[in-house]
Structure formats: C-alpha cells, structure tokens
Amino acid sequence: MQLLVHGGAGTEPDEPEPRREVLDEAAAAGARERSVVDAVERAVRVLEDSPRFNAGVGSAVQSDGAIRTDAGIMTHRRDVGAVCSVPGVAHAVSAARVVMEETPHVLLSGERAAELAGAYGVETGVDCWSERTRKRWDDLEAPEGGPREQLAWLEERFGESDPGGRDREGESTDDGTDHDTVGAVARAGDRLAAATSTGGRWLALAGRVGDVPQVGSGYYCCPEAAVSATGAGEDIARTTLSRRVADHIGDGRNARKACEAAIEEFEELTGSTAGVIAADGDGGLGSAFNSSAMQTARAER
C-alpha cells in the first residue's frame, strides 16, 4: 500500500507543524487499510476531523452563513461517487462512497445526499463550525436579502483573491478556511483510488459548487493514475486539472513529471494557483503546485 495525502494549496500556514502532524497521521491511518478505497477514505476522514483544514469540521462558510460540504471518490475501474452542497455531514468522503457503492448515480446533492448518507450509517446533523470559523463569521456584518444582495456584498467587500492568496486589500485570506481542500491517492498492486473533500471557498455565494465533486477536475482515477487536486476551484473545473495529470501519465510520464506538466499548463491557461498529487500504476507518487505552499505526507506498508 502506497498513500499520498495533501492538505490544500495556498499561502504558507501560520502553524505548519500541527497541520503536518495531522497529515502524517492521515497518511499512516490510510496505509494501514487493506484496500485502496478504504485507504483514501480513512486518510481523508482524519483530515475532515481536524479544524485545521477546510473540510469536515473545519469547513468554510458560504454567504448565507451555512456550511455545505463536497467530496468525490473514484477507483481504477472508474467506479465513482460524489456529493455536493451537503449540510451537516463532516465525513463527506464517506457520503461520496455511499453514492459510489450503493446507487447507480455519480453525484447527489444537498439534503437528499445527507439523507442517503444517513441511511447507510454516515453521521448526519453534525456541527461543522470550528471556533475559528465562528469567530470569523461573527466579525462580519452579513447582508439581509437574497442572492443579489449577497453577491453585491461579496464583490464589494472581498473581490477576487489574487494568486498569492490575498484579497484586494492585501490582507491574507489563508487561515485554513479558504481553499485548503484535502485529498488522498493510493496504490496497491494494480489497484488505484483517489478522493478529495472540501468545505468550499470562504464566503462563496450560497449554493456554489467548485471543482471537488466534479469528475476529472477535483479528482480522477483510471487504470493508469489516481489524482487529487486543490486550489482555485473554478479554474480547476474549467481546465479539468486532474484529468490532465492522468492523461500525462497515460502518455508515459511518471506521477511527478505528470503533475509538474499539468500545473505548468494550468498556470499558462488560467494564471491561477493550484496543486495536485498523483499515483501512477508503476508505483510512483508525485506532486506539484504553483501556490506558496502545499503540505503533503506519504506512507507505505
């Protein structure tokens, strides 16, 4: 079993060592599992349980003051499941696995996804607010009204973050609740799996769904490769970043070189920042990013 996990691409975290300890714990926990699907699910669940990452109990808050989680999981056989905009589910990766294994569908959304997850033993009704996100939200004066009012407020107050992870005022936006999507890839013999989970982008318009639950964007897996991506979600989706990495591996590159080539293409096409991790069918693990930082951890058994 070979496992590689990431904790998101962004600016340098204020406290890198505690985050690295959680990543190491996640990688070690995943590597102890017997199957690649169990491995990526277990690793991602550890990260979803930590408020230091933007997933599960550390998730970002949308413009209406609600937390909604997204995740996707996929295997080398192209078995795939995903959920998006799910309220009250910290272990979104497990909900995605339920979709993959128990339904004929690829993607379920919202309250119905939560109901399905609960029917198969995934905990629902979870409070995904952390102390940090609660304080940050309480310091804001969110507008009343519908999407027009919320969108005008978001554009006026924050604008778009630049590639350095800063808003138009120059203030750092990386406190673990912006774009620290988490993910894992695993390989055991000829078996591969990938999983990605997120709480979305801090103060995205309510109902926004980024790249994470979209096949080929936030994650992808096929007989040649397993890939998980993180970063600027809309641009990752526009360029199907994870599929690009897999295609490079299919063309003969190893995991590291494929990640580097895909990130170079991504930057040229979008000017945005992202990171990717990958496992190839020959036993290679690799990663690349063009943001200031992307913490990873690996384990083998």
* Cβ proximity of 43 and 64 under 8 Å: no
DSSP state of 11: S
Question: Which of 181, 196, 198, 239 is the catalytic position?
Answer: 181
Residue 72 and residue 209: Cα distance in Å, rounded? 12
Q: Which amino acid is at 79?
A: D
- Three state DSSP letters for 42-110: HHHHHHHCCCCCCCHHHCCCCCCCCCCEEEEEEECCCCEEEEEEECCCCCHHHHHHHHHHHCCCCEEEH
Question: What element of type H or E holds 150?
Answer: helix 147-157
Angle, in degrees to the nearest 10, between helices 92-102 and 110-119:
80
Residue 204 and residue 208: Cα distance in Å, rounded? 6
Burial class (CB in 10 A: 0-12, 13-18, 19+), 78: exposed
DSSP state of 172: B
Q: Among this protein's residues, is 124 annotated catalytic?
A: no
- Known catalytic residues? 181
